Amino acid sequence: MRQPLFAILMLFILVFFSGGGSFVLGQETEALPPLETLEVANDYTAGASLESIQGFLNSIKTMRANFIQIAADGSMAKGTMYMERPGKIRFEYTEDNPLLIVSDGAIVNLIDYEIGQITKWPVAETPLALLLQEDIVLGDNVELATIPTETGPVTMVSTYDPDKPEQGTLTLYFTGSGKSGDSPLLLDSWEVVDAKGSLTRVVLSGSEINIPLDDDLWKFEDPRNKRFERRRRR
């Protein structure tokens, strides 16, 4: 396992000149005051450990959450995400978006109802394969970092598969520490950087974990039989 990758905090030294001293020929300049150094605490223990994150992810059997997706070009889409491990996930976009993403446990289907087309990938060959595994193991090729924020620590877990560079890099963001007496762990968002360097970010809200989900969520209607009708903007 790689050593944790810690964020680096820079220390800024502020130098103040007091008394309005000036450099004038024939006059002595005032002595400079001592340097004032601002020290920032370098405490990363507040974040979650790799072991606690792994345990948390494995504890999620089902999940439902609202999501906002920000593409590399800045465009945004939103909807509801459903997940059932192992292998099943559904991104149900709002009615103004003709796309639907559904995995039945083995195959991820991208359905475009506007053009009547389906694109398919094996779950294991998608960036989110880690999240959908039956047994999630955060071992090799994983880096962890904790970022202090005003609302508490945010822990980042980045992972990639050197044998499948086309999948890019997946970075998961967690709030809370999961430690006794602290706030519980929560999957806040994730980022995917593809092989071309394009970044897509998904932000979650209103997450519900380990709730009953309908089996019909992992099915979809044939786009050739149901064409998308875009709402007219008023």
Per the CB < 8 A criterion, the answer to whether 191 and 199 are in contact is: yes
Low-confidence ranges of the chain (pLDDT < 70): 1-46, 180-181, 226-234
Q: What is the pLDDT of residues 90-102, one digit of tens each?
A: 999 998 899 999 9
Kindly tell me the sign of the dihedral angle through the C-alpha atoms of 214, 76, 174, 143: positive
Integer angstrom CA distances of residue 149 from 11, 43, 152: 17, 12, 5
pLDDT at 46: 63
The beta-carbon contacts of 125-130 under 8 Å, at least 24 apart in sequence, are 125/164, 125/166, 125/167, 126/167, 127/167, 127/168, 127/170, 127/192, 127/194, 128/89, 128/170, 128/190, 128/192, 129/167, 130/159, 130/170
Per the CB < 8 A criterion, the answer to whether 233 and 212 are in contact is: no
Cβ–Cβ contacts within 10 Å for residue 32, how many? 11
Query: Which domains are delineated in the chain?
Result: 50-213 (2.50.20.10)
Q: Report how far residue 47's alpha carbon sits from residue 101's, in angstroms, rounded to the nearest whole number.
A: 33
pLDDT at 140: 81
Cβ–Cβ contacts within 10 Å for residue 16, how many? 8
Residue matched to tokens 């796309």: 99
Q: What is the pLDDT of residues 114-169, one digit of tens each?
A: 999 999 999 988 888 889 999 999 888 899 999 888 888 899 999 988 888 878 89
Per the CB < 8 A criterion, the answer to whether 50 and 190 are in contact is: no
pLDDT at 217: 97
Per the CB < 8 A criterion, the answer to whether 98 and 228 are in contact is: yes
pLDDT at 117: 92
